[in-house]
Amino acid sequence: MQEIFDYLDTLIPNPKCELNFNCDYELLIAVVLSAQTTDKRVNEVTKVLFTKYPTLEDINKADISSIKEIIKSIGTFNKKAVFVKEIAKTLLEKYNGVVPRTHEELEAIPGVGHKSANVVLGVLYNIPTFAVDTHVERVSKRLGLASAKDDVIQVEKKLMKKVPKDRWIRTHHQFILFGRYYCKAVKPSCDNCKLKDMCRKDTLKRRWFSFYFIYNKFALKTKNMLTNICLF
């Protein structure tokens, strides 16, 4: 692990969240909007959203169609527009307009799941968490810190055991940025990577192709069997 830490500390010495925000609720809304969407695109829409509706009260009173129009360039914008309104309403009615600082309270807010709660707690309150998004999951599996079959919760648990608690937030951001700009899903920058000797990318790819081949062979065999039965 120390080799990984040393390399990432050199490559990404000042990791931080790339979502733009000016206050606690702006971060919460931005994190919810970022699901299945790039941070860059989220920053584009939140700039417009928070300029037009600069307070929680404004967002709460906003017409849902107006919010949809502003965020329509991001994935699942219809559902997320509802979440934006519900977040504003919940914060105003239950938390005096302040984003809560526990998993239980955060995950009770519409649109806020476990990963989103982790991000908010770490970024906003510096509470040690290890949120696992697609980049963290990919990097963890390629570096052998988690197995290919692990789901995000299993990956999170393994990372929390292997990474010192005082590095959770830092390493979380480093893994995100490393996965976003270097260890990308497609065409990763492997040639100059000092972690390539421990990388399992090709092994994971071979396993995937092996599964794909076996699955298709089974599917073809089943199709032929059904065809013969029908002909009979």
Question: Is 133 considered catalytic here?
Answer: yes
| CA–CA dist 141, 125 (Å, integer) | 28
Contact 15, 174 (CB under 8 A): yes
Instruction: Calculate ∠ Cα 48-102-42, nearest 5°.
Output: 20
| 131: its two tokens | 């949120």
**CB–CB of 108/99 below 8 Å?**
no
Q: In whole angstroms, what is the distance from residue 176 CA to residue 159 CA? A: 14
Written as one string, the DSSP assignment of 159-182 is HHHHS-GGGHHHHHHHHHHHHHHT
Would you state the structure tokens that stand for residue 227, as one six-digit string? 């065809």
CA distances from 160 to 60, 80, 130, 171 (A): 37, 30, 7, 11
115 a catalytic residue: yes
Neighbouring C-beta atoms of residue 214, cutoff 10 Å:
10
User: Which of these is catalytic: 80, 85, 115, 141?
Assistant: 115
Find the catalytic residue in 24, 80, 85, 133.
133
Which residues participate in catalysis according to the annotation? 115, 133
